[in-house]
Amino acid sequence: MIPAPGPGEDPPPPGAPSRALRVRAAAGWERFMRRAEAAGAYPVGADGYERHPLLHGRVRDTASGAEGVLTAVTHETHDDGRVVRIAHIRGENGVEWTAAADNIRPNDEGKGMRADDSTDRG
């Protein structure tokens, strides 16, 4: 059964989430944040940005081997309710990419490739 709009509330336009879904999503986000805080995770602001200790520092994406500066870590909620941590990295050449935040490590100088190097050397 679909809940009726609250008093003085217009029904959502077609395709928009219902009030009940928005309330449920907000409650789920609050539960996620409480669990993350209890587990010692990094704090997240109301804007969805994580206060990661490597923020604005040189990092290496272990999946690709590319290096750059960590510009942000955001949290994205997928359709199935999972929250995924996304690292935003800017290479020396100015090109930005995203990676799983769990794949980010502090840059070990002299090891790995720089973000502007190509893996194709031929």
Tell me how crowded residue 101 is: count the other CB atoms within 10 A of its CB: 20
Average pLDDT over residues 36-59: 78
DSSP 45-77: -TTSBB--TTTTSEEEETTT--EEEEEEEEEEE
Q: Which helix (H) or strand (E) holds 100?
A: strand 96-100
pTM over 0.85: no
Please check the confidence at residue 10 and state whether its pLDDT lies above 50.
yes
pLDDT at 113: 40
CATH code that applies to domain 19-106 = 2.30.30
Residues of the chain with pLDDT > 70, as a percent, come to 75
- Sequence ranges of the domains in the chain: 19-106
